[in-house]
Amino acid sequence: MTARKFPALDAFRLAAAVLVVTIHTSPLGGFAPLADLWLTRVLARVAVPFFLMVSGYFLARGGWRLGAFCRRTALVYLAAAALYLPLNLYAGMGPARWLRALVWDGTFYHLWYFPALLWGVPAARALARLGPRAGLAVAGALYLFGLGGDSWFGLADRLGPLHAAYAAVFRLVEYTRNGLFYAPLFLLLGAAAVGKETRIPPRAAAAGLALGLAAMTAEAFWLHALGAPRHDSMYLFLPLCMVCLFALLLRANGGRLRAARDASLLLYLLHPGCIVAVRGLARAAGLWDLLVANSLGHFAAVLALSALAAAALLRLRPLRRDPHARAWRELDAAALRHNAQVLRQAAGPGCALMAVVKADAYGHGARQVCRILQRAGVRDYAVACLAEGVALRRAGVRGRILVLGWTDPAQAPLLARWRLTQAVAGLEHGRALAAQGVPLQVQLALDTGMHRLGVPAGDRAALAELYALPGLRVTGVFSHLCVSDSLAPADAAYTRRQAESFAAAVAWLRQNGYDPGRVHLLASYGIWNWPGYAFDCVRAGIALYGVRSTAAPTRRTLDLRPVLAVRARVALVRTLAPGESAGYGLAFTAARPTRLAVLAIGYADGIPRCLAENGGHVLLHGVACPLAGRPCMDQLLADVTAVPDAAAGDVVTLIGRDGAAALPAEQVAAQCGTIANELLARLGARLPVLVLKNAENH
């Protein structure tokens, strides 16, 4: 029997935040000092390592994209530092001390976590590059050193070499619970859990947690009896406790609970200010004995005030739009990764994959597509224009980004600033780019017969001049096959002539001492039909998304899977009597009692107006339902008489799979008299892209 899942990670965030409040209020201190020592100095010490492990887990799952994470963390930290600045000034903290605290120790006693995280995340990422075992070994060694400067300080400091080392460390930072000695280990332990969520059986994890807590309890009480701790955030058995606790939480985890996540952060940030407020209110109201001297009353008052303040702020936060509320695109990450692997194998050994992500990745969402492909090891991308390349860089996309289309030479500084590689569209274009005086990486587009952009492949003088132009560094040479999608004998002969012309130009470059860099000729249909011309890399566009432009046959079949689905909500369902009409121009007239569903999607979202009149349909509960009447800008009508239980809020599929039924993009495009490329590229930007991480639409 499978255990019921719930948002365990987010729920425990809230519990961990409450444990942090206990550390700073000592609820049992006035009644049972030893119990309070165990609660605040043993049990509550799992809170911050848990926060770190959660961060490491999700960072590793997301491919260690540090930019956005560190920016968000820094903004929260700076806001909190500003919030507590009046208390810093009241306490007499000078500018120099405040700046040092901002960088290393936190400007208020609970804010140390943020610089530890901001230093620890890059350190953990660097260690992760060493490999899981080596990275954890180094992080563990750093933790052991930090342990000697924390709860084991009184013992470790007696050793001469360590005494000098700790003295040097404490001249820079106040504690060793920081981003070098403390945070990296727990970040990497969280990262190590990715893909291994069920590695530790629940009974073993529970037993390990119990034994670890017992051992940590004995360790803490022994060290406190010796007076050894300089601080008590780090224990020898704490990592064991955290591995087992995190394994149990991952086993139970299912879904997200944003309210608990946000409340835990606010509780963490606000409770020290609430401690000050409770003390001030208690003094003013004559309730000092109840709300301050009474340790349990003090804890309850601080927790209650912190919770009220957090709840008030949560009510003021801007509400997020539900991406499932109207219409959306679904991106199957597993199918995309699968297709990338299949295309790599189809290209052959030593041939790289260049992902063509122009036109918002053929309507799939370029930012989301690139993030998935980066984690899959893809390092080459192609876009159509400068704006698309800049957008990818702003989204944190690394690797080579080739601008395939023409760029105004006056924009050369932007190409250089965003580290984009520009295709040279012709000799004059190359001269104009060089005239800007900006060092650029470029690739030469060769015209082998399509007569679109490119330098004529046979113009050797032009090729030589382009290599001689100052400021232009040629890193690649490419061309495009214009009839590679056709197997007709005349078209096949033309494709061979193009490929031979391209190969001859590349050979001439090499023979005359010109480095062609990355050589690529094949796009999607070239991969399907002409694998012998693969060269250094292949440019996969429509094939990457598991779609063919048309139903035309190809020389070989590749196991590619559709990546995209387009779905929309049913706004309402109404019944028409025979003879009643609906829609613009009353184009639909019911011939029988008919149930019409109003769909919350229209031609402004990229659904062609001609789809309805050409026999288009949608899938509802796996049943094909014909479109009815004239499409509107924002709504469509569908005849759902065949689905008796159709109701408002139901989801219809316009492209993709619904149960056993499917509407391939190729079929929808053919009904509209176009190709799948155009249909997908025209999908509207107001359709949000939702990434399905573990499901495949096949």
With 0.85 as the threshold, say if the pTM is over it. Answer: no
Catalytic position from the list 57, 358, 525, 533: 358
Q: What is the pLDDT of residues 533-568, one digit of tens each?
A: 999 999 999 999 999 999 889 999 999 999 999 999
The CA-CA-CA angle for residues 137, 139, 144, to 5°, reads: 95
How many other CB atoms sit within 10 Å of the CB of residue 598?
Answer: 18
**Residue 1 pLDDT > 80:** no
Please name each of the domains of the chain with its CATH number. 1-41+257-318 (no CATH), 47-251 (no CATH), 337-545 (3.20.20.10), 564-663 (2.40.37.10)
Distance CA 502, CA 498 (A): 6
**Residue 695 pLDDT > 60:** no
**Residue 110 pLDDT > 80:** yes
**Mind spelling out the 3-state secondary structure of 494-510?**
HHHHHHHHHHHHHHHHH
Across 326-331, average pLDDT = 95
Catalytic position from the list 5, 109, 196, 584: 584
Quickly state the pLDDT bin for 356 (edges 50, 70, 90): very high
Annotation says 584 is catalytic: yes
Quickly state the pLDDT bin for 3 (edges 50, 70, 90): low
Collapsing DSSP to helix, strand or coil, 437 comes out as: coil
Q: Which two tokens stand for residue 523?
A: 């796009």
Q: How far is CA 397 from CA 68, 255, 541, in A?
A: 12, 28, 17
Annotation says 5 is catalytic: no
What is the model's pLDDT at position 697?
40
Q: What is the mean pLDDT of the chain?
A: 94
What is the model's pLDDT at position 647?
93
What is the model's pLDDT at position 431?
97
Q: DSSP class of residue 243?
A: H
DSSP H or E run through 473: strand 472-478
Across 423-447, average pLDDT = 97
How many alpha carbons fall within 13 Å on the CB side of residue 216? Answer: 28
Q: Which amino acid is at 178?
A: N
What is the model's pLDDT at position 321?
73
Quickly state the pLDDT bin for 379 (edges 50, 70, 90): very high
Q: What is the pLDDT of residues 630-672, one digit of tens each?
A: 999 999 999 999 999 999 999 999 999 999 999 999 999 999 9
Across 463-468, average pLDDT = 97
Exposed/middle/buried for 341, CB within 10 Å: 0-12, 13-18, 19+? Answer: middle
Helix axes 295-316, 258-285, angle to 10 degrees: 130
**Residue 322 pLDDT > 80:** no
* Per-residue burial over 387-425, b = 16 or more CB atoms within 10 Å of its CB, e = otherwise: ebbbbbeeeebebbbbbbbbbebebbebbbebebbbbbb
